[in-house]
Structures are given as structure tokens and as C-alpha cells.
Amino acid sequence: MKIKHSHKIIFVSVGYSVLFAIFFSAYYMPNEIGFAVTVACTCLIGCLTVVGANTIIGFMKTFPPESINGYSSGVGFSGLLGGCIYLSLKRFLEFKWICLIVIPTFLLYILAFFWMVKIKADIEASVIIAEA
């Protein structure tokens, strides 16, 4: 695909935010419709997760192999941490409020990606200097 990595990450992050907002609004829909909307949002969020993960792995092809190992470990740990945070919040908040809290966290996803872009640019600049 000839789409820039940054455009794909922004698309994924905006999509996450929109889908979680729709997911949140499904709480106020009639049960049959709300369930269908929730299932559809969950499927689309899963698809966006795959696009985001593959985009980052593809972006990291010029990084040293240790970076990809660290990224994979971080993804696994974030899944565990996310589950623990959800279970912790579930004691104090209703599910709809937890979904609402999750929406702004995708800004961190975008910021982390652009931080990786800066690191890549710094590495490429140092390689150019070293070659000269």
C-alpha cells in the first residue's frame, strides 16, 4: 500500500475513538440494537488493532531487531496491564464510564508513534553522517 505510516496510525486512532464513542452510546440503545452495535464495534476495533500493529511492525523494519523484540514484549504487557486496569476500575465505575475514560488514551498511541518517527529520523541522520 502506498499510504504513509503516519496516516494509517492517525486513521486507526481516530477510528478507535469514534468506535469507542459509538460503543459507549450503545449503552443507551434498546437491548437488541445495542448488542448488535456493540458486536459490530468490537469487530471493527479488532480490525483496527491489527492494522495498527502491522503498521508499526512494518514501520520498524529499519530498526534493529532488538527493537521489535521490545515492541512485542510491550504489546503483550500492555494487554495484561489493560486487563488489570479494567478489572480495577470495574470495582468503582460502571462499564459505560470505563469506555468513556478509554477514548482519550488513543492520543498516547499517536504520540508514541510520532516519537518512534523521531527516533527513526535521528538514526537515519546518524547513519548518513557516519557514511560521510
- The pLDDT assigned to 95 comes to 79
123, pLDDT greater than 80? no
For residues 59 and 4, what is the distance between their CA atoms, to the nearest angstrom? 10
Tell me the C-alpha distance between 18 and 103, whole Å. Answer: 8
Angstrom distance (rounded) from CA 78 to CA 12: 17
Q: How confident is the model at residue 63 (pLDDT cuts 50, 70, 90)?
A: confident
d(CA 60, CA 64): 8
Mean pLDDT of the chain: 82
Q: How many CB atoms lie within 10 A of CB 91?
A: 6
- DSSP 8-state secondary structure symbol assigned to residue 1: -
State residue 129's pLDDT score: 74
DSSP state of 63: S
Reported as half-sphere exposure (CB side, CA atoms, 13 A), residue 68 has a value of 13
pTM of the predicted structure, to 2 decimals: 0.68
Weakest-pLDDT range from 10-14, 69-73, 119-123: 69-73
Cβ-proximal residues to 124 (8 Å cutoff; 6+ apart), any chain: 62
